[in-house]
């Protein structure tokens, strides 16, 4: 059975960077917010990089993203998926991100994990012509030893690009 993406993109006219995941996890779909699984390190990593240690509520997270010119969305509009497993994704219908691009200053796209990168390349790149920067997944499924330090190093690219854009 196909599941439709339940979340709206987070962005505004001043967004410069777009971070794309693949599809919300079961917990994120239940909580109606991106990266809601407490074991997912997405918010923790961004908080460390931007010295924002107090990203607890959804409102704080949205304000943080918009204040830092970051947009957030997913590649997939609908798909078949077993639980939260990216490897089970099939029958993909991609999101149309052209509206985000057109109504913002987005010049850089980061993909969170291999699946988001693969699907972006397959379905969306041809319309945006923006080469994505693939980042390691912040998912709890990607929890090899020492990953947090690697995640911080890779995700720091977002802040560097934003600083260079100002």
pLDDT number for residue 61: 98
pLDDT tens digits, residue range 130-143? 999 999 988 876 55
pLDDT number for residue 125: 97
Environment class of 52 (CB within 10 Å of its CB; exposed 0-12, middle 13-18, buried 19+): middle
Q: Is the pLDDT of residue 147 over 60?
A: no
Structure token pair of residue 136: 């390691």
For domain 3-165, the CATH superfamily is Uracil-DNA glycosylase-like domain (3.40.470.10)
- Ranges of each domain in the chain: 3-165
Estimate the crossing angle of helix 42-49 against helix 58-67, to 10 degrees: 50
Task: Quote the pTM value.
Answer: 0.94
pLDDT tens digits, residue range 53-93? 889 999 999 999 999 999 999 999 999 998 888 889 999 99
Tokens 């560097």 — which residue? 160
């Amino acid at each position: 059975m196909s599941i439709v993406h339940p979340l709206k993109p987070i962005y505004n006219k001043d967004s410069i960077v777009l971070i794309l995941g693949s599809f919300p996890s079961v917990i994120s779909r239940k909580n109606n917010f991106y990266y809601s699984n407490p074991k997912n390190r997405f918010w923790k990593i961004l908080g460390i990089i931007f010295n924002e240690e107090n990203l607890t509520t959804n409102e704080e997270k949205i304000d943080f993203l918009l204040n830092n010119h970051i947009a957030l969305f997913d590649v997939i509009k609908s798909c078949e998926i077993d639980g939260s497993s990216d490897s089970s994704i099939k029958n993909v219908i991609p999101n149309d991100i052209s509206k985000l691009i057109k109504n913002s200053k987005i010049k850089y796209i980061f993909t969170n994990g291999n699946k988001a990168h693969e699907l972006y390349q397959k379905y969306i790149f041809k319309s945006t012509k923006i080469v994505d920067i693939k980042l390691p997944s912040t998912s709890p499924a990607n929890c090899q030893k020492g990953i947090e330090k690697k995640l911080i190093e890779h995700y720091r690219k977002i802040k560097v690009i934003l600083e260079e854009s100002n």
